[in-house]
Amino acid sequence: MDFRWLFSLCIAGVLLCMGVFEKRKYDRYLCEGIRVRCKVLHKRKKYGYKRTYYYALVRFEAEGKTIEQEIGYTASIEKEIKEEMRLVYMPGEPEKALFEVFLENGGGTTSTIVVATLIVILSLWMMFLG
């Protein structure tokens, strides 16, 4: 008996759990996070194998100190990154700030959930139809 469908189903389950976990984390940022304005000092691209990484150097005030750090984002919001943006961070963790527009767009979790769902459907099709 062929058990490739079982392997595919396990991979899909892991991907689905990862996507749901990230989506819940981003929703928590939006609900409980502290919003601050930041100034984008510089944007840069880093070219990797089959992928481009986007980073913005930002400066913002949080918890009584000025923080300057680099924040990653996806290509889907590249055109939305302006000179002044809003960041969201969890209380006590300003070094883990994310762009508000990145969180509102789902941060790339939607594609993970869609791919995982397609793999589940394919796995079930392989299981029942051989």
pLDDT digits (tens, 9 = 90+) for 28-84: 999 999 999 999 998 898 998 888 888 989 999 998 889 999 988 877 677 777 888
Report yes or no on whether pTM surpasses 0.75: no
Residue with tokens 């409980």: 32
For residues 88 and 34, is the Cβ–Cβ distance under 8 A? yes
Nearest to 89 by CA among 49, 62, 120: 62
Nearest to 97 by CA among 47, 14, 40: 40
Longest dimension (CA), the chain: 64
The per-residue pLDDT for 68 is: 93
